[in-house]
Structure 1
Amino acid sequence: MDVSHFHHTPFYCEENVYLLCKKLCDDGVANAQGSDLFVVFISNEKKQIPLWNQKASKRADGVILWDYHVICIQITQGGSSPLVWDIDSSLPFPSPLTSYVSETIRPSFQLFSDFNRLFRVVHAPIFLCCFASDRRHMKDSDGNWIEEPPPHETIIAEDGTVHNLNEYINMSVAGAIADVTISSVKDAVFSEKHGVVIKENQLEEFIYQISLQ
């Protein structure tokens, strides 16, 4: 897939992924309802997460410190590796989950605890119905844009909610799942509006577990 075929507005990764999921469904790359797609918010309590191989970085290794980031993971059939769709990444698009974790998350890299990342995994069909953003988080105290907004209309949830981004990006270690192999945890990601929060060393295992559902 050519990444240029997908809409991208810098610093609006949540809206980019929202539109990406819709396009994958519309183009037949994903299931029509998006049942094979999962939206993953990456952040932590301090809102400072290092990720590597990001296009916005000015460093050779592509590392950058985001307050949060959003990607899409697609479960594939036939035992193939799940795929990560990250429009902001300089890695192949899409990338196998294993290589994405290795090259972008870099779990082997020792971080101070303030930089440890958490992942909120939300089933795409739920996300597409429930997510909303009026972009208020991108305005300063005087109402001026911090970063230029996308050209399309703001995203309104099916129930009329106009903004709930903070409900997705706010996460804590205390709220993270301890054991991702428990059936109720795997079921929760298919039913809970805000999905489930897991720790960074659990991401691959959790995706593997839900791929068996």
Structure 2
Amino acid sequence: MSGVTSEPIAMDATRFQHTPYYWYSSSFKTKFLIDLGVLKIKMLTFSCSEENVYLLCKTLCENGVAEATCSDLFVVFISNEKKQVPLWHQKASTRADGVVLWDYHVICVQRKKESDSEPLVWDLDSTLPFPSPLASYVTETIQPSFQLFAEYQRFFRIVHAPLFFKHFASDRRHMKEPDGSWTAQPPPYEPIVAQDGILHNLSEYIAMSGADTLSSLDPETVTAAISQKLGVVVSHTQLQDLFTKLP
């Protein structure tokens, strides 16, 4: 891509279906930055960001913001083996820098074909402009300039939206207590079922580690990113490059 031809038009995130469903412990303390001490931070879990993004992508396609086939949309899961990923500028944070620890988080990235415009990030839980250019989102939310301890490194599973709609399923079991009760009121709509009848495979999407990341971004590997059920996993240093090399 040659560069941005125009600034993205900011939209009101409240226009989209969003269930801010998570549990947190306000007393959680951790040290994930090498050059800083222990921080008091929220640990967010029992999220339904995957369902929010599923519905977001559907809406973007239906209202003409994205292609009707959703071919320009990608669902991106962010997590790691520890299931603790620091992200900045998040609405759920009570800190000035907006940082929280998610067990996993899900966003949508729009990469318009045959366009010089930069990929856009749609993050319903972010305080940044909605949408935001991918480059600025990485700078502000991922904060690659900060040195993290290895166990807090963020990995990104990139799945083409049409395949996500076909294969993804969640019966919301991760939102329940051991006795089967809900940790909070679940979303009002029915759980998402895959086209083949599978009821739950969320764990397959959020399972990722450094060993899963691509060794290179050659054309064959990049093409595979839009043809596999679970997409591909990349590091934060590969994220922007992958979107520039998609066919």
In the aligned structure 2, how far is the partner of 1:26 from the partner of 1:114?
A: 39
Partners of 2:234 and 2:115 in 1: CA distance = 26
Q: Distance in 1 between matches of 2:167 and 2:101?
A: 28
Q: Compute the displacement of 1:148 (Å).
A: 2.2
Instruction: Work out which of the residue numbers 12, 19, 28 in structure 1 matches 2:55.
Output: 19
Higher helix share: 1
Match of 1:31 in 2: 67
Specify the alignment match of 1:41 in structure 2: 77
Matching residue of 2:168:
131
- The two structures have a TM-score, normalised by structure 2, of 0.84
Aligned to 1:5: 15
**Are 2:138 and 1:91 aligned?**
no
Residue 207 of structure 2 aligns with which residue?
170
One-letter code aligned to 2:194: A
SS at match of 2:166: helix
Structure 1 residue 205: deviation in Å? 0.6
Matched residues in 2 for 1:98 and 1:147: separation? 35
Superposition pairs for residues 14-163 of structure 1, below 5 Å? Answer: 14-76=50-112, 77-163=114-200
Distance, in Å, in 2 between the alignment partners of 1:118 and 1:86 is 16
Amino acid at match of 2:111: I
Q: Which amino acid aligns with 1:155?
A: I
Larger Rg: 2
Aligned-pair Cα RMSD in Å:
0.8
Q: Aligned partners of 2:211 and 2:136: how far apart in 1?
A: 28
Indicate if the aligned counterparts of 2:167 and 2:194 stay in contact, CA closer than 8 A.
Answer: yes
State the AA in 2 paired with 1:142.
Answer: D
Residue correspondences, number: 210
Aligned counterparts of 1:144 and 1:67: Cα–Cα separation in 2: 21
